[in-house]
Structure 1
Amino acid sequence: MESKLKNIRILRLNDVCETTGLSRSQTYRLEADGRFPRRIKLGVSASGWIESEVQSWVAERIAASRGVGVAA
């Protein structure tokens, strides 16, 4: 399990906005609607998103806009 954790990167909100092109409010709205990956709690007042989940979401959006299936 430890080797899997070494490859996990957590993105904070600014990183998510930069990666996706979404605004803060759009990110939270899509998450609340179940259309964006859920964030994880990092501490009392800190949270973040798993980078691979955000990247998969972006890949799905690209595939949907191109009318093709998502590549693995």
Structure 2
Amino acid sequence: MTESSDRFISIREVISAVGMCKAQVYKLVALGQFPKQVSISSRCVRWSQREIESWMEQKKMGCTS
């Protein structure tokens, strides 16, 4: 993936990438500790792949923000 590219990913892709269950992802979103989802339509949400990857990199480096 290049720095300028991004795509929307589903909750299934998110939980596969980060190794958490769906409930934990939503809990961290509610606490402001995980990237927020983007509402695509009234019944469809997705996450920015770039934001998820950035969050993962921060965790690898030991950042807590």
Distance, in Å, in 1 between the alignment partners of 2:51 and 2:61 is 15
Q: Counterparts of 2:37 and 2:22 in 1: how far apart (Å)?
A: 13
Moved over 3 A (4+): none
Letter in 2 for 1:54: I
Structure with the larger strand share: 2
Q: In the alignment, what sits opposite 1:23?
A: 21
Point out where structure 1 has 5 or more consecutive residues left out of the alignment: none
Secondary structure in 2 aligned to 1:42? Answer: strand
Greater relative contact order (CA < 8 Å, ≥ 6 in sequence): 2
Deviation, 1:56, is 0.5
Provide TM-score, normalisation by structure 2: 0.86
> Larger helix proportion, structure 1 or 2?
1
Taking only the aligned residue pairs, the percentage that are identical comes to 23
User: How many residues are paired up?
Assistant: 60
Report the RMSD for the aligned CA atoms in angstroms: 1.3
Q: Secondary structure at the match of 1:41?
A: strand
For the pair shown, which has the larger CA radius of gyration, 1 or 2? 1
